[in-house]
Amino acid sequence: MAALSGKSAVVTGASRGIGAAIAMRLAKEGADVAITYSSSPERAQQVVTDIGEAGGKAIAIKADGADQAAVRAGVQQAAKEFGKLDILVNNAGVLSLGLITEISATDFEKALSVNVRSVFTAVQEALQHMPDGGRIITIGSVNSERMPFKGGSVYALTKGAVASFTKGLARDLGERKITVNNIQPGPVDTEANPAKGPFADTMLGLMALKRYAHADEIAAMVAYLAGPEAGYITGASLLIDGGFAA
């Protein structure tokens, strides 16, 4: 029997990249998966189709991470579809770069809304539908621990916030045996930050392993934390960064 057979999951921001890889891996492990997206219905549907063709079950739900009412409604819709939610993966995020003297208040508020508020909102709503022993996993960033270049202060702020939130939330939910963990990737080969993109030489120069991660590697760590063997891991921020923070 697959490790996540009989489980249901929500993965936010999963129409592409790391989120899509996570959704595919959780489905491969036997979970029914709901993915949310903000502006790419065709890509979201392709993820659903790919999961279905591989023998899994998935649905796509439009829910912009900047719209807290939409985030809450999306989690509710997934819970209604599956009857419960065993796993919440907070993957949706935005990268806001700019010197602190130049970044706009609008960009700052969007970064807070998507990277921090939507995590709070999704967690709060998911807990209304999550049985004891559930899993909450957030995709943070190595930049919560190391920001080696200019212009990343706001991004680091938001990722540091979810790392701290993870610790407090683990305490809140320990009696329910719900584990709460934060995965902190380094550079990952995606459309937003390709391994051969303009920042690649700089990133590789900061790493012990001179390569970008594959999205499937992040998904594998998520699947482990979501599974039965990780029941004693909670309140942790786990690096998967090729030695970026070493």
Report, as residue numbers or ranges, the catalytic residues. Answer: 155
Q: What is the DSSP letter of 111?
A: H
- Measured in whole angstroms, how far is the alpha carbon of residue 112 from the centre of its chain? 15
CB 36 within 8 A of CB 74: yes
CB 59 within 8 A of CB 23: no
What amino acid occupies position 27?
A
Paired strand residues for 188: 213
H or E, element range at 217: helix 215-226
36-67 burial, b for 16+ CB within 10 Å, e for fewer?
A: bbbeeeebbbebbeebeeeebbbbbbbbbbbb
Phi then psi for residue 88, to 5 deg, are: -120, 125
Q: What is the C-alpha separation between 189 and 215, in angstroms, rounded?
A: 7
